[in-house]
Chains A and B, each alone.
Chain A
Amino acid sequence: MKPLLQNALRTSAILFLFALVGTALLAYTYRNTHGIIEKSAQEEKLALINQVLPRRLYDNDLLAAWRELPAHAMLGTRKPSGMWLATMDGKPVGVVLEAIAPEGYSGDISLLVGIDANGVLTGVRVVQHKETPGLGDYIQLTKSDWVLQFAGKTYDPDQNSRWKVKKDGGNFDSRAGATITPRAIVKAVREALKYFQIHRETLLQPIETRKP
């Protein structure tokens, strides 16, 4: 029995050693890359936000001016989402909202919606979607300019019918054969604008900037 036990001990010691070295290497790599990775992730996020809210409109540290929004049907959210408050010389000039278009052809479409203090859209981008490749994915800026048509639009309750795709009698372009996707996004953006109009005062309230 002795050699068996010895063999088992030796084998487990070797396995343990490998696990130890592997863990140490991973920990070392993580420590040395963590900061750099975090920084570039923040930069990417900011770059995306700057696409929906032009950089020249605000002068604050936008990523730090973040606030949680409770889940709301008009934002299409079932979980709390977030918003960023843009200010210029300390005055609120606009917000970027995280919204969801729940009626996409293949489930949720995540959006970033930029709205200035007057309720005018500064831009909309699709952050994530599962729409059919080659058919419904023209909502991505990398595939087509479709999503750019939102910039400059506002919502007026008297002209509710304009906030539809052209096929439904509205103002927004869509492509033949893939109407469900743009219909879902147009509706979601419209609801986000309505949400902004209703909650404008609260949304534009200053945010305590977290000091890094």
Chain B
Amino acid sequence: MISKQEFSALAHNGLWKQNPGVVQLLGLCPLLAISNNVVNALSLGLATVFVMAASSLAVSGVRNFVPHEIRIPVFILIIAALVTIIDLALNAFAHPLYLVLGIFIPLITTNCIVLARADAYASKNHPLLSTLDGALMGLGLTLVLVVLGAARELAGQGTLLSGIDLALGPAAKGWVITVLPDYKGFLLAILPPGAFIGLGLLIAARNWLDQRAQRRAQQAARSAVAQPA
């Protein structure tokens, strides 16, 4: 159904080239609010993957019945209904999971990346590809969230995975890693300004890596031309 090339193109797009968190800069509202530790970041990330895959599938499924002029209201309607249904269904039928992810699901409604992918990709491609695109875009956001969450938690409290026992039960309490013992804490990193500064550093790091790769590719191309076989 999906060729290897298609998959790797989608993966490259979602995780690096069009990464929602550090390239498209979509979905910053939850990203900035939730990325103060790894556990929160991962929870929101997983919820986003789930919702994006489902909404892309739904939008792609009806794409041929939606006239171009009213596509945005229809997509908003589909996504809002879907998120609400997922929220209610999780709460009723998977309550332990809801206790972990529940507060994050409504946050995703404020995430414009869901609508952006619905309009830019799912409305033009077949359902399977669209679902994959949604999931991979969500995964790209998760990646940024987790890196940012880890950096902020480490700088702010000197730990990693704090609060994991709230997500996985008291048994996981021992998983918390205290990287810097007797660390006094750096409040700025945990408060909202830390999120902006951290995200700025991440964007800069990604751009630097990208440009370095481009320069190397150009140099390689030039030396290939300069030394004819």
Contact = CB atoms under 8 A, between A and B. Distances in A.
Interface of A: 10-11, 14-15, 18-19, 22, 25-26, 29-30, 32-33, 36-37, 40, 132-135, 142
Nearest to A14: B67
B67 A29 contact: no
B73 interface: yes
Contacts of A135: 185, 187
A134 B92 contact: no
A36 B92 contact: yes
Given A18-B74, A18-B78, A135-B185, A37 B156 contact: no
Contact of A22 (B77, B88, B89, B93): B77
Interface string B53-71: 0000000001001110110
15 contacts: A14-B74, A19-B77, A22-B77, A29-B88, A30-B88, A33-B88, A33-B89, A33-B91, A133-B36, A134-B156, A134-B187, A134-B190, A135-B185, A135-B187, A142-B166
Contacts of B168: none
Interface string B156-170: 110000010010000
B204 interface: no
**Band of interface residues on B:** 20 to 34
B110 interface: no
B187 A132 contact: yes
Contacts of B65: 14
B77, B92, B93, B156 pick with most chain A CB within 10 angstroms: B92
Contact of A15 (B62, B70, B81): B70
Contacts of A19: 77
A29 B187 contact: no
Given A11-B70, A15-B73, A134 B88 contact: no
A52 to B, nearest CB: 20
Contacts of A134: 156-157, 185, 187, 190
A127 B95 CA distance: 20
B97 to A, nearest CB: 13
Contacts of B74: 14-15, 18
A107 B4 CA distance: 55
A29 B89 contact: yes
Contacts of B62: 18
A37 B88 contact: yes
Q: Which 9 residue pairs of A and B lie closest in terms of their CB atoms, listed nearest first?
A: A33-B92, A36-B92, A22-B81, A33-B88, A29-B85, A37-B91, A15-B70, A22-B77, A18-B74
B62, B66, B85 pick with most chain A CB within 10 angstroms: B85
A132 B185 CA distance: 12
Contacts of A142: 163, 166
A19 B70 CA distance: 12
Interface in B70-120: 70, 73-74, 77-78, 80-81, 84-85, 88-89, 91-93, 95
A18 B77 contact: yes
Interface string B199-217: 0000000000000000000
Contacts of A37: 88, 91-92
Contacts of A30: 88
A181 to B, nearest CB: 14
A135 B189 CA distance: 13
Given A19-B77, A26-B84, A33-B92, A11 B67 contact: yes
A30 B85 CA distance: 8
A132 B194 CA distance: 14
B78 A22 contact: yes
A155 B3 CA distance: 74
Contact of B66 (A14, A32, A40): A14
B125 to A, nearest CB: 20
